[in-house]
Structure 1
């Protein structure tokens, strides 16, 4: 049965604004972390970073994926989603699908399938995860800025009434992706800058809720944010 025209137009608009949502599979399988020796360049298709010998290897307690906060604060939610997207630990006992589920649980129903595809593009494949586990690889994100891009403001101004989901907005995140692991017996670490856009909607999900709740819509491609 054909989908209603209006929801279909909304999904197409969000997809068009996001742009570059399909990252190459190589992001998941092309080294993806600390699998070269200290001092070598990381073979990361999106950008390169350097791996250095860490001064120490503190004992860590791997944490399981954490749920996103239930909040109506758009920037808080965007920052939390961005952090969750980049936070994983191969020693946690969780798999990439578990980390992806945290974000999928916060998806807006209208974009759930598309968002799941966006999230998978940021995470290692199962095969890459198995390799990264041998290096005890851990990853996290530090955020420098989270701002509503001018391109989104222009899109809002040009959108027809009802064309965008209620409460929709976008935050472009800039920061640094960090990874640590062990190469042989040496602790190593790597850092590279990243940027991307998180598309969200913060609106009451039902009449009985008085507070606004934020949901995830889409993600831009890595290093392909709205400006």
Structure 2
């Protein structure tokens, strides 16, 4: 039960809505569980990668809560084609993490933009779609977040080939298509919303790995799968 109002308690009460919004932005966006994919599925050939259940999705450092100006809305946009693996991984990462509940689009609209640059054979498409669905809010969470005009974007710090990828290639050289590689993305996930006309944002460190196949198999890179959030390939 709340204590009787005092000057300090009153000030605490005034700040409570902002803390509630921060919790909504951080907690509702993260799905209850993530579908993780390791080297196993890729090494054993297209269409055979079993997704293993992941643990709690939010394993990064605590979010930082600050006030900030509102950011522009982000409508779903196609992932631009490129034959450069690192550049492509960066573009996929930005596409996965950039969305805005106030634009009138749904999570599936954003997911589709990444699926469009997925495995042309379709073998990895169901797994990729499952990965993406766990990176974005579900329909119920999206509806709640829309009340706060919640939006998200990513600033990338690094995009590097995991140190274990060389070993993965050796193990899967008989089944991996030429030009298949992986890039681990590290960066900051930003979320922003509006409470009582006042903008509030959170920032949290994230990391994950993008698996892709580029030249010589395909003229431009295509995304295969994503690891569980904050569980990148070592």
TM-score above 0.5, yes or no: yes
Distance 1:180 1:8 in 2: 39
8 Å contact from structure 2 (residues 100, 151) kept in 1: yes
* CA shift for structure 1 position 153: 1.3
SS at match of 1:79: helix
SS at match of 1:150: coil
Distance 1:86 1:23 in 2: 19
SS at match of 2:103: coil
Larger-gyration structure (1/2): 2
Indicate the residue corresponding to 2:46 in structure 1.
Answer: 11
Q: Do residues 173 (structure 1) and 173 (structure 2) align?
A: no
Over residues 81-132 of structure 1, what are the superposed CA-to-partner deviations in whole Å (9 max), with x where a residue is unaligned?
Answer: 0010000001111100000000111110221111000110100000000000
Indicate the residue corresponding to 1:46 in structure 2.
Answer: 59
Q: Do residues 203 (structure 1) and 210 (structure 2) align?
A: no
Q: Which of residues 150, 166, 169 is equivalent to 1:156?
A: 169
Alignment of 1:70-109 (within 5 A): 70-108=81-119, 109=122
8 Å contact from structure 1 (residues 51, 188) kept in 2: no
Aligned residues: 191
* CA shift for structure 1 position 23: 4.6
Indicate the residue corresponding to 1:135 in structure 2.
Answer: 148
Distance 1:126 1:51 in 2: 26
Tell me whether 138-147 or 63-72 shows the greater mean CA deviation: 63-72
Indicate the residue corresponding to 1:42 in structure 2.
Answer: none
Q: Which of residues 182, 203, 213 is equivalent to 2:220?
A: 213
Over residues 143-174 of structure 1, what are the superposed CA-to-partner deviations in whole Å (9 max), with x where a residue is unaligned?
Answer: 0000000111111123243x112210000000
Q: TM-score, normalised on structure 2? A: 0.74
RMSD: 2.4
